[in-house]
Amino acid sequence: MEYSFYDFLKLLGSLALFLYGMKIMSEGLQKFAGDRLRKILTAMTTNRVTGVLTGVLITALIQSSSATTVMVVSFVNAGLLTLSQSIGVIMGANIGTTVTAWIISALGFQVDIASFSLPLLAFGIPLLFSQKSTRKSIGEFIFGFSFLFMGLSLLKTNAPDLGENPEMLSFVQNYTDMGYLSILLFVAIGSVLTMIVQASAATMAITLIMCANGWISFELGAALVLGENIGTTITANLAALTGNTQSKRAALAHLVFNVFGVVWVLCLFTPFTEAISWFVDNVMKPQSEAVAVPYKLSAFHTTFNICNVLILIWFVPFIEKTVCALIPQKEQDEEYRLRFISGGLLSTAELSIVQARKEINLFAERTRKMFHFVDDLLHTKNENDFSKLFSRIEKYENISDSMEVEIANYLNMVSDGRLSSESKLQIRAMLREVTEIESIGDSCYNLARTINRKFKGNMDFTEKQYEHIRQMFQFTDEALVQMIRILEDDRHSVDVNQTFNIENEINNYRNQLKNQNVLDVNNKEYDYQMGVHYMDIIGECEKLGDYVVNVVEACADIKEKK
């Protein structure tokens, strides 16, 4: 078999299509079905057991553990699944792929999802050019889904065809008599083979051919199967290359899960394989050795994955901590996820209100962080760094919108319960807080957009303008700090009047700068357009200060009613 440089380029192109599909599928999912799909997936993965069952079901339906893990990685990337939930689904996918192997061997039935890719594009193209954003997002998802599976299919097609040329692997029989070292070598061969072929099912077929030809024994075939379980994780890790930190962690969790399983089976390899052989020979009673070996390998694969899940399902938190330690969170990859109220209502409405209060405090801290990004953006001169920071502020604006909706929905759910009149008034004030904090996020985004327009116009403020903006930003940040202190103040020890004093300073300074700006433009110290950008920033800071006062007033109302 010849494998030219052109074939290698086709392989790289297939990988590019796969990664691009993963990227736009994840983005389309996030835009179109974010909140709805999150609720469905959260319901399906409420605990580890239901998560595993979800993974088994999805993999048995689409008949590809690689496809399931890639979709799980994309769900994590889109913020639809938590890392903990994704680990359960991935565990289930490992069992599901063995169910598929039995179905294929018994019925000879397999669905090729890639064959539906081109017809799907025909449905997706009118949606992609739709004026309605939801339809456009569905079109993006369909295109991403199609490209993903076309890429996966092309990866298998353009990889060296070892299945049709098993004689290339006949050399392995030279390494079958080295005892335990042979087992370790065949685990490594199985891993590398699956990474190349990009399909554990294809590697399983190669393993069966090698066993049928008598090149290797059942025990060495089992070692190849163990290697395949490690090699199959490469697909999810490839998919995670374009994703965020959480998706990389989900892909790594798949690898950690499979590697740990292989390690403990290697420690008990001889009794484990002997038990499988005994079961197949005495319970299933195949008619010949040629039939027995495929049964033994399938039984080994199924038993290994089920046992691995039964053991590791108790260690999901440990696996989560391990992958988080191995892949630390990058600051720019911070993902939107409610920290305190994502698990539903608590036993009493009062406790639920306490959780909502913690979430509102976190929301306020995130908006102040967003304001600091705006300050950094103002002083960023490098175009690449500027684009990254502006994109990050845009992301925080989306986070802010989502947090407002989810916290408000949660508070409305709490208000449906049996509450005292004081608690109902408290919830009403908290809803006002959430609305005003989201408005602070909007103001931060408006500031960033003004700075972006100034940057694209290749214009710059004078040193005096920069000094005035810095002073206004300092007042605004003081107001935000004071607001957060009041929100977190349970003992009523923070003076609310200080916020009103800061607001007065902001208003007076805005009026002073407004008058000065007219004089400076008339004196040709800077042109009119720069004066517009300058006053847009100053005016937006004054609006932001108003929103801060509104939050503090709502918070003061709550404390008066307690």
CA distances from 376 to 398, 473, 503, 541 (A): 19, 11, 23, 15
pLDDT at 558: 65
Tell me the fold of 336-561. Methane Monooxygenase Hydroxylase; Chain G, domain 1 (1.20.58)
Distance CA 235, CA 258 (A): 13
pLDDT at 154: 75
Encode the chain (562 residues) as per-residue pLDDT tens digits. Answer: 456 778 778 877 877 787 677 677 767 765 665 555 556 666 666 677 787 887 777 776 555 666 677 777 777 776 667 777 788 888 887 787 676 455 444 443 344 556 777 888 888 888 888 877 778 888 888 888 788 777 767 766 676 554 555 555 555 555 656 667 777 887 888 788 777 765 565 566 567 666 666 667 777 778 888 888 788 777 777 767 766 677 788 888 888 888 888 888 888 888 888 888 788 777 766 655 555 666 777 788 888 888 888 888 888 888 888 888 888 776 555 555 566 665 555 556 667 788 888 888 888 998 999 999 999 998 888 888 899 889 888 888 888 888 888 888 888 888 877 777 777 888 888 999 999 999 999 999 999 999 999 888 877 888 999 999 999 999 999 999 999 988 887 666 667 888 889 999 999 999 999 999 899 889 888 888 888 999 999 999 999 999 999 999 888 776 655 5
pLDDT at 556: 79
Alpha helices in 416-462 (DSSP H): 421-456
pLDDT at 26: 61
pLDDT at 542: 93
At 347, list the tokens. Answer: 């036993």
Decide if 406 contacts 362 (C-beta within 8 A). no
pLDDT at 286: 60
Residue/partner pairs of 452-461 with CB below 8 Å, 24 or more apart: 452/377, 452/390, 453/533, 454/530, 454/533, 455/386, 457/529, 459/527, 459/529, 459/530, 459/533, 461/526, 461/530, 461/533, 461/534
pLDDT at 470: 93
DSSP reduced 3-state for 163: coil
Distance CA 267, CA 272 (A): 9
At 292, list the tokens. Answer: 């027995």
| Length of the chain (residues) | 562
CA distances from 52 to 302, 316, 321, 498 (A): 15, 11, 19, 53
Nearest to 406 by CA among 34, 16, 41, 158: 34
DSSP string, 308-360: HHHHHGGGHHHHHHHHHHHSPPPGGGPPP--SSSTT---SSHHHHHHHHHHHH
Q: Where are the domains of the chain?
A: 5-326, 336-561
Q: What single-letter DSSP state applies at residue 284?
A: I
Decide if 373 contacts 389 (C-beta within 8 A). yes
